[in-house]
A and B are shown apart, each in its own frame.
Chain A
């Protein structure tokens, strides 16, 4: 019986690196952080990420196997600002790994190392929907934040594995150079469309849009976390018609018929964009992801 369990579990467990001992085990919630850690750490790190790139990161199951990965992790990286509040905390307590507890070098809360947007100016309550009360946690999809996260990962890896300092700094420089080149290219591509109005499903694109010079004209969700009823869709379309909205953007885990309806009413283009590395074909790295999304936006606006 137990042998059968072992066989079944090992098949889908990614937790044991081939060459254990020499590497830093990085465990992340969303796959982007894992990919950034690999950019910086190369062979010196092994990574496991919990959230599938096509899954809504607000609603993830606290699968007990995640606790097993956390138990022997050297570095935990998560988005923070309560994005993972519904599932990560009990796993962290179950794992009981002192090295990745809050306050430790092995605990990297991304929301503490990037400048958060949408921080509520005053008190919030849930009459405003399932708001993110600490600010918007969907930070990673702005390449400047990608770079900040990579720098933070570098600092942590250096502290955890001082022998790798040179390797990590080299990894970071190489990543920064490639990303920097791409950022210039993206800026040129996006420049002609500065100020273009966009409707999004959930407020998960503000970092990307502001970086790209696009303007969020509205959200399909009437309130954060509340699905749009038909009347909400019509009201949104009425409110924004004639406003020159050209794109309606949502992730694949949001209802595409809502996106389609609003796009049609506004004469805009519906665009389902991946928000996480690996979320679409050709998005296997962080740079590829941003590249994919920039090109998708530009192609739709041409």
Chain B
């Protein structure tokens, strides 16, 4: 059954990975799929913990059947393996072979058969015992995680600038959200991720998307509902932030929830010797709205088939082994939702500088993030423009401690004036934030944060200064998620 692939590889040469291979692979019978390991994050299913160690993992069946992915090597291995187990001696001499076998028998408590390291295909398929005897086996369950966030807040004045998303909006104690995450490889070609926000009394699908795994030429597609690749903050989930609240760029233009809607995204990792990625997407114009009035929304759908189109260019510059720089530029355009033909555009640039030493024992790390976005909206008979920006610095002072500072600001036309075609009302805000986070482990954190907010403008009738104080607690269960860069 793996013959298609073997043949294709032989024909193409071992070092070529050609599109025809992908096409051929698509015709490999379904039985092959079962033998393909899920990708590493979901790698070995939980039950694997009870498996015997790898050298003994070859199930009896596997011993008589070469692994699916084995190509040319299969023949060699099979021939050698048939050679009354003398293969190992041939390769490394009888003395060392005996030493390895003795060691394997000591560790596994079983006679060392044909060790996995002699195979050229996927090793460690593993024997699962006791699973699926009365129903479907749970070995293929996706990686599950639950991140619960709680917050307490004190505002020096109840009339503060309203925030959206999972952030306390009034003095008191709040259950912010529990984010349920599921992810796994669907099959060799697709990976599926789902993130669901469970609030105190609502359930929201943040993201559910499938992404391709094996397209040639650095191409990747995502389909489903996903956070638009715009700037540094928008694609992220709240639990990876250094602060309890979103920066004003996200808050003002896309809402604390982030810009997201169902659509299709293509990304291309260019075949250059350095990292340069292009992302383009089309998604529905029906997105979470920032602010509390319809005028504050960036996008809205006028018709059922209104789309947002977005693009992002991202490059990574490894300044040294310890210093990294990411530069990005993003744009998104779509209907403003104010009338047929009226459009909104948001443009942004971002930079991320990171220092992480590769030696020493003090865990010091430094991150600096900057993003600036500009928005322009067409309203019937009117045109509104505004901008927002933030600068954030984070210092990991010890393994369990992090301190972060953020300054952000926005300024410009927020809503239309009283006469719809007259001068717009503007709102500006300058805000400073300081957070101190204690991480007992990677899986929990306690955070203290203070904000000083200074809103102003025609659209603001609250106090000039507001102090906001937060206490945040976060707990993560389940699969060891990967850390975003």
Q: In the docked arrangement, what's the CA distance between A288 and B218, Å?
A: 38
Q: Which residues of A contact B39 (CB under 8 A)?
A: 89, 92-93, 101-102
Is there an interface contact between B92 and A151, defined as CB atoms closer than 8 Å? yes
In chain A, what residue has the closest Cβ to B217?
Answer: A96
Is there an interface contact between B359 and A54, defined as CB atoms closer than 8 Å? yes
Interface size class of B (residues with CB under 8 A): 35 or more
A155-B118 in contact given A61-B485, A115-B54 (Cβ < 8 Å): yes
Q: In the docked arrangement, what's the CA distance between A159 and B9, Å?
A: 10
In chain A, what residue has the closest Cβ to B103?
Answer: A144
Interchain CB contact (< 8 A) of A67 among B46, B269, B273, B442: B269
Q: Which residues of B contact A161 (CB under 8 A)?
A: 14-15
Q: Which residues of A contact B326 (CB under 8 A)?
A: 64
Q: A213 near B: Cβ within 8 Å? A: no
B170-202 Cβ-contact flags toward A at 8 Å (1 or 0): 000000000000000100100100000000000
Is there an interface contact between A9 and B91, defined as CB atoms closer than 8 Å? no
Is there an interface contact between A64 and B275, defined as CB atoms closer than 8 Å? yes
Interchain CB contact (< 8 A) of B38 among A52, A54, A99, A102: A102
Q: B60 near A: Cβ within 8 Å? A: no
Interchain CB contact (< 8 A) of B443 among A65, A103, A126, A147: A126
Q: A186 near B: Cβ within 8 Å? A: no
Interchain CB contact (< 8 A) of A98 among B21, B51, B52: B21
Q: Within A9-58, which residues are at the interface with B (CB < 8 Å)?
A: 9-10, 12-13, 15-16, 21, 24, 52, 54-55
Q: Within B304-337, which residues are at the interface with A (CB < 8 Å)?
A: 314-321, 324, 326-327
Q: Which residues of A contact B49 (CB under 8 A)?
A: 119-120, 122-124, 133-135
Q: A283 near B: Cβ within 8 Å? A: no
Is there an interface contact between A65 and B318, defined as CB atoms closer than 8 Å? yes
Interface size class of A (residues with CB under 8 A): 35 or more
Q: B77 near A: Cβ within 8 Å? A: yes
In chain B, what residue has the closest Cβ to A112?
Answer: B124
Q: Which residues of B contact A122 (CB under 8 A)?
A: 49-50
Q: A167 near B: Cβ within 8 Å? A: no
Is there an interface contact between A71 and B269, defined as CB atoms closer than 8 Å? yes
Q: In the docked arrangement, what's the CA distance between A109 and B116, Å?
A: 11
Q: Which residues of A contact B484 (CB under 8 A)?
A: 62, 90
Q: Which residues of B contact A21 (CB under 8 A)?
A: 15
Is there an interface contact between B14 and A162, defined as CB atoms closer than 8 Å? yes
Stretch of B206-214, B294-302, B428-436 on the interface side: B206-214
Q: How far is the CB of A46 from chain B (nearest CB, A)?
A: 12
Q: Within B470-485, which residues are at the interface with A (CB < 8 Å)?
A: 480-485
Q: How far is the CB of A180 from chain B (nearest CB, A)?
A: 5
Number of CB contacts from chain A to chain B under 8 A: 309
Q: How far is the CB of A70 from chain B (nearest CB, A)?
A: 10
B47-91 Cβ-contact flags toward A at 8 Å (1 or 0): 011111111110000000000111111101100000000001001
Is there an interface contact between A253 and B55, defined as CB atoms closer than 8 Å? no
A65-96 Cβ-contact flags toward B at 8 Å (1 or 0): 10110011010001011101111111011111
* Central interface residue in A85, A169, A177, by most chain B CB within 10 Å: A85
Is there an interface contact between B51 and A96, defined as CB atoms closer than 8 Å? no
Q: How far is the CB of B258 from chain A (nearest CB, A)?
A: 19
Is there an interface contact between B122 and A86, defined as CB atoms closer than 8 Å? no
Interchain CB contact (< 8 A) of A10 among B274, B482, B485: B274
Q: B360 near A: Cβ within 8 Å? A: yes
Q: B138 near A: Cβ within 8 Å? A: no
Q: Within B220-251, which residues are at the interface with A (CB < 8 Å)?
A: 220
In chain B, what residue has the closest Cβ to A159?
Answer: B73
Is there an interface contact between B275 and A68, defined as CB atoms closer than 8 Å? yes
A176-B358 in contact given A74-B15, A112-B123 (Cβ < 8 Å): no
Q: A104 near B: Cβ within 8 Å? A: yes
Q: Which residues of B contact A165 (CB under 8 A)?
A: 76
Is there an interface contact between A103 and B269, defined as CB atoms closer than 8 Å? no
Is there an interface contact between A103 and B68, defined as CB atoms closer than 8 Å? yes
In chain B, what residue has the closest Cβ to A250?
Answer: B361
Q: Which residues of B contact A134 (CB under 8 A)?
A: 43-44, 48-49
Q: Which residues of A contact B318 (CB under 8 A)?
A: 9, 12-13, 63, 65
Q: Which residues of B contact A155 (CB under 8 A)?
A: 73, 77, 117-120
Q: In the docked arrangement, what's the CA distance between A71 and B108, Å?
A: 36
Is there an interface contact between B100 and A147, defined as CB atoms closer than 8 Å? yes
Is there an interface contact between B358 and A86, defined as CB atoms closer than 8 Å? no
Q: Which residues of B contact A115 (CB under 8 A)?
A: 53-56, 103-104, 107-108
Is there an interface contact between B359 and A101, defined as CB atoms closer than 8 Å? no
Is there an interface contact between A119 and B483, defined as CB atoms closer than 8 Å? no
In chain A, what residue has the closest Cβ to B315?
Answer: A5
Q: B393 near A: Cβ within 8 Å? A: no
In chain B, what residue has the closest Cβ to A94?
Answer: B269
Is there an interface contact between B73 and A105, defined as CB atoms closer than 8 Å? yes
Q: B35 near A: Cβ within 8 Å? A: yes
Interchain CB contact (< 8 A) of B274 among A13, A54, A98: A13
Q: Which residues of A contact B214 (CB under 8 A)?
A: 96-98, 101
Is there an interface contact between B118 and A151, defined as CB atoms closer than 8 Å? yes
Q: How far is the CB of B26 from chain A (nearest CB, A)?
A: 11
Q: Which residues of B contact A13 (CB under 8 A)?
A: 273-274, 318
Is there an interface contact between B55 and A86, defined as CB atoms closer than 8 Å? no
Q: In the docked arrangement, what's the CA distance between A61 and B320, Å?
A: 13
Interchain CB contact (< 8 A) of A159 among B68, B120, B483: B120
Is there an interface contact between A63 and B485, defined as CB atoms closer than 8 Å? yes
Q: Which residues of A contact B316 (CB under 8 A)?
A: 9, 63-65
| Interchain residue pairs A-B with the least CB separation, the first 3 | A112-B124, A9-B274, A159-B73
17 A-B contacts, Cβ less than 8 Å apart? Answer: A63-B485, A64-B316, A96-B215, A97-B214, A101-B214, A103-B35, A112-B57, A113-B123, A119-B53, A135-B53, A152-B118, A159-B73, A159-B76, A160-B71, A180-B92, A252-B361, A253-B361
Residues of B within 8 A of A (CB): 14-15, 17, 21-22, 25, 35-44, 46, 48-57, 68-74, 76-77, 88, 91-93, 95-96, 99-100, 103-104, 107-108, 115-124, 185, 188, 191, 211-216, 218-220, 269, 271-277, 314-321, 324, 326-327, 354, 356, 358-362, 399-400, 440-443, 480-485
17 other contacts beyond A52-B321, A115-B108, with CB at 8 A cut-off?
Answer: A5-B276, A15-B273, A61-B356, A62-B484, A64-B314, A68-B274, A82-B480, A95-B269, A112-B54, A112-B57, A113-B123, A114-B55, A130-B441, A148-B115, A152-B117, A179-B96, A255-B362
